[in-house]
Structure 1
Amino acid sequence: MAFRSAVITFPGSNCDRDMAVALEQVSGVAPIRVWHGHAELPEDLDFIALPGGFSYGDYLRSGAMAATSPIMRSVVKAAERGVPVLGVCNGFQVLTESGLLPGALLRNANQTFICRTVELTVENAQSLFTSSYAAGETIRIPVAHHDGNYFADEQTLDRIEGDGRVAFRYRDTVNGSQRDIAGVLNEAGNVLGMMPHPERAIEEAHGGSDGRRLFEGAIAALVKA
């Protein structure tokens, strides 16, 4: 089975090419590139990625305007059908604003842009996206964000913790995220939002390749299925 993926580009996306290169390097098949103004996605997609950047310049609220783009109606429908959707950084913000994931991403607690490699703990190694990691494993992935402070009410936090939907957690305080949450899964496990950039950790020339296994595990599972 040939792996078929798509990378969505919004006005202000700046990591869409990085995401496309990562998917092609790992799968051997170039993803289709979809502009946010398109209304439909192919129904035979295996994987959808919402990349990082500053959609619409973050003028209203990070991800809020992108969440209303025409293509997001198709992304939501695909996610509801079970198609895996990965949102990284701004893509994570879009997923929360569109209602595909709970919570919100606020301004970093220290009010500064953070750009460095951080250590993450793999909290859930059973999802499609995390199956190539071991539970409790420490991995190193770059971050680059100004609005990565994950917030949700205590009831929501308790629920996602209890359901095992925290995928990754910062080992040290990075941006003020509640309970140091770095990545969250939806209830069905086919949508992952994360602030760190796995597409920037694909090969050792990047300074590390821990992000590659996220794509390798997901693609292997999907192709096998």
Structure 2
Amino acid sequence: MKSAVIVFPGSNCDRDVAVALELVTGRKPAMVWHRDTELPDGTDFIALPGGFSYGDYLRSGAMAARSPIMAAVRQAAARGVPVIGICNGFQVLTETGLLPGALMRNAGLSFVCRPVRLKVENSQSLFTAAYDSGEEVVFPVAHHDGNYQADEATLDRLEGEGRVAFRYGEPVNGSARDIAGILNDAGNVLGLMPHPERMVEAAHGRIDGRRLFEGLLETVA
């Protein structure tokens, strides 16, 4: 699998994602700068990492969504290339319109940084194929603006179409219906606030996140 990690000024989890992808695929991903206008030929998978792109000025992800490279990301997603946005990457995906809703300030108005329990809601997607529906996993979170919100009609549609990929198994940030990760209508774009790339080696305490990348690799390959 030929992957690409998009790097924005203020990204701080780009290396974490790159290490996870190399560990699982055996191949270093391309690190693509936000000012670039094209993705490497043959890119099979795109990751938008966590961090604080542009210092989270205006709104988290709002400026990164207008970076030159995002036009190529949108075009790739439209062709069916899998795209994951983790934490700040999720915020960027909502700001670009690739995913509905918005990530608001945490309900407790505090930065949350700890491992949290998640429930796998949909195991039939490209990103969750290595999990069982209803399975509980643990990923770390590290965010101040992770409170997912959308209007009731959008939330009902996400639920009805099986597009809620992960749900919090405990109170975290006030997200509507405890939503932690959602899919686009085609199923090839995932926005996820918790960090699977921080649970890929035994030294991390668990390897729950590694299975996301392994399942994706098997499905794409």
1:61 alignment partner, one of 40, 59, 62? 59
Does 2:173 correspond to 1:195? no
Query: 1:211 — aligned with what?
Result: 209
Give the aligned CA root-mean-square deviation in angstroms: 0.5
Query: 2: distance between equivalents of 1:110 and 1:36?
Result: 32
Query: 1:12 — aligned with what?
Result: 10
Deviations 1:74-133 (A, max 9, x none): 000000000000000000000000000000000000000000000000000000000100
TM-score (norm 2): 0.99
Query: 1:124 — aligned with what?
Result: 122
The offset of 1:59, in angstroms, is: 1.0
Query: 2: distance between equivalents of 1:169 and 1:4?
Result: 29
1:107 alignment partner, one of 105, 108, 127? 105
Does 2:157 correspond to 1:159? yes
TM-score (norm 1): 0.98
SS at match of 2:208: coil
After TM superposition, list the pairs within 5 Å mapping 1:32-71 onto structure 2. Answer: 32-71=30-69
The list of structure 1 runs, each at least 4 consecutive aligned residues, that deviate by more than 4 angstroms after superposition, is: none
Unaligned runs of 5+ in 1: none
Query: 1:175 — aligned with what?
Result: 173
SS at match of 1:110: coil
Unaligned runs of 5+ in 2: none
Count of matched residue positions in the alignment of Structure 1 and Structure 2? 221
The offset of 1:43, in angstroms, is: 3.9
Taking every aligned residue pair, what percent have the same amino acid on both sides? Answer: 71
Query: 1:143 — aligned with what?
Result: 141
The one-letter amino acid paired with 2:53 is S
SS at match of 2:24: helix
